[in-house]
Amino acid sequence: MARRLPPLNSVRAFEAAARLGSFVAAAQELNVTQPAIGRHVRQLESWLGVALFQRNARGVQPTAAGVQYLATASRLLDELAAASAALAQPQPALLRLMVVPGLARRWLAPLLDSLLAQRPGLRLAIEPHATFCQLQAGQADLGLVADDIARLPGYYHTLAVPPVFPVCTPAYLAQHGTPASPAALLQHTLIHEDDGEWWQLWLAAQGLHVQLQPQMVYYSADQTLDACLAHKGIALANPLLVGPELASGALVRPLAQAVALQGYHFILPPGGVVSADMAWLMAALCQRAAA
């Protein structure tokens, strides 16, 4: 059965006039004319069939029925305003996070469900990007990049500087043998994510200064590790990227040597401001990275 409701504008006009004790004040509050308030009140009185105001030389005074109706009208209008305000609250902004692909897929993606469960209302967009060291205005709200701090103009905070070590599959070692030393790696197929610089840095830390010219370059740790898992050679990795594969035995470390090279760092765009959600996310990720 349909509700029989009075005209809402008439109820608003009556409530304001009765609460403020003046048609003039009601007109000012509702941004209408005083005659409009009078018309709305008469319309409501006609609809209800009772007088809501007593008119006299000094103005208007609510009748007993008007006083009774005012209490209910004020409460319901307040509840309606509160309910409307609650629904009209702006949605949380989408937090755009640009991340190097290897970290995005192999470390961050498995964490997302638990992170979002811990922070209801957090809206997150992950954009993998293989080659960036800074953010342009409007490109993203936060970046997570692998590089040296000195080369990051928007550096904000460090996630981790994990140890880097060679990895390969057991099948690769079964076919090609296990290298006895870092120098022996040069007799194996090395998988590159750049033009040889990453491997050169790692080998230099072992006292081996060589110039490498790879035939194949992947330009992404994610692609490099996919090639490694396909038994194509030996790649450089860190615990954040290959923790599950090392635990399962899908990948092994042919040598024990490890060295910290570039770290993972958060960067901001020009003029970037750290929101509460961004601060929480960085703290949560740093805690996971340190675990």
| The pLDDT of residue 175 | 97
pLDDT tens profile 37-70: 899 999 999 999 999 998 877 778 899 999 999 9
Q: Is the pLDDT of residue 89 over 70?
A: no
pLDDT tens profile 96-120: 999 999 999 999 999 999 999 999 8
**Does residue 137 or residue 177 have the better pLDDT?**
177
Q: Is the pLDDT of residue 91 over 70?
A: no
| The pLDDT of residue 1 | 67
| The pLDDT of residue 272 | 85
- From CA 163, how far away is CA 262, in angstroms rounded? 9
| The pLDDT of residue 161 | 95
Q: Are strands 142-147 and 263-267 parallel, antiparallel or unpaired?
A: antiparallel
- From CA 162, how far away is CA 260, in angstroms rounded? 6
189 in Cβ contact with 199 (< 8 Å): no
